[in-house]
Homo-oligomer: A and B are copies of this chain.
Amino acid sequence: MRKVGICGAGLIGASWAIGFANAGYKSLVYDNDPNSSENFKNIFDKLIQDIKLIDPDIDAEIIKSNIQLNCSMEKICEDSILIQESVVEDLKVKQDIYKQLDELTSKDTILASSSSYLVISKISEFVEHKHRCINAHPALPPHVVPFVEIAGSQDTSKEIINEALNIYKKANYAAILVKRETEGFVLNRLQGALLNEAVRLHEGGFASMEDIDIALKHALGIRWAFMGPFEIMDLNAPEGIKDSFSRYRTGIQNLARQQNTVPSYSDEYLNKLDKEQRQRLDYHDRSDRIEKRNKMIALIRKLKIELGEDV
């Protein structure tokens, strides 16, 4: 059984451990917090519950038996094909961990960081064997969203990138390649573009938070749940994608010219956001809404699987 080391066992690490274990890997889990195993057991059942909505036939006992908690750093490094690092989002901490991992693993073990904003050229700056260091950034919530984006630095070898893509794909993740290092990778760059525009629309007095949320969830997101921007543009004019862009380019370019401001995100504005939010959404039902979110994602994935539209 091929082994994967899980370094850092919070929600992200736990989701990776379950994902790999469910795909038939042995997940070896290390965390420097002595309570982490107890925490892991507590969230395990909750995560499995969501995953069972996607596939009721999943066997929680087999997954559990493929996860070994309470491992030492040495243990997870011993003969793992890949280490998934998901410690706190702090450059210095990650750099220290990477130096340890580099010393404890064989030279061909892939060292993959879950970091969302810290690029691997920085994280691996003081590592000797940089060729096997990558970003492998998941999406939220990771236990039900089967996505990872892989990015290397200039020092990462092509073989390692390809091997990583294969490993994640075999573990049933939609694995994409970020070909050039960039802050935010692909996921957060797309998300950030939309989020900044949502804030421009709200701050500029064009629409309420409620109405912007409605536009995304009842009009745009309902398509984006199963088709990407280039797939959709192919359907928007009779001759396909080139025809669509030729018709719309002047309009889209005009928008780009107007969407080039940087929202302030000042405390004053965030207080205003918070006030408007609390008038329509109760803070105290946040955990219910998180559960609802996870359930909805799981059920949409179930639908996509049934229709052959999933990963």
Contacts and interface: CB of A to CB of B under 8 A. Distances in A.
Contact of A206 (B186, B198, B224, B255): B186
Q: Is the interface of A mostly helix, strand, loop or mixed?
A: helix
Contact of A186 (B117, B190, B215, B242): B215
Contacts of A255: 183-184, 188-189, 192-193, 196
B213 A228 contact: yes
26 contacts: A174-B218, A176-B214, A178-B206, A179-B207, A189-B255, A190-B201, A190-B215, A192-B256, A193-B196, A202-B230, A209-B230, A212-B230, A213-B228, A213-B231, A214-B228, A218-B310, A225-B296, A235-B289, A235-B293, A240-B274, A240-B277, A240-B286, A245-B265, A246-B270, A253-B265, A300-B303
B183 A190 contact: no
A262 interface: yes
Contacts of A262: 253, 256-257
A79 interface: no
Contacts of A224: 216-217, 220-221, 224-225
Nearest to A151: B206
A258 to B, nearest CB: 7
Interface of A: 117, 139-140, 145-147, 149, 174, 176-180, 182-184, 186-198, 201-202, 204-209, 211-236, 240-242, 245-246, 249, 251-263, 265, 270-271, 273-274, 277, 281, 283, 286, 289-290, 293, 295-297, 299-301, 303, 307, 309-311
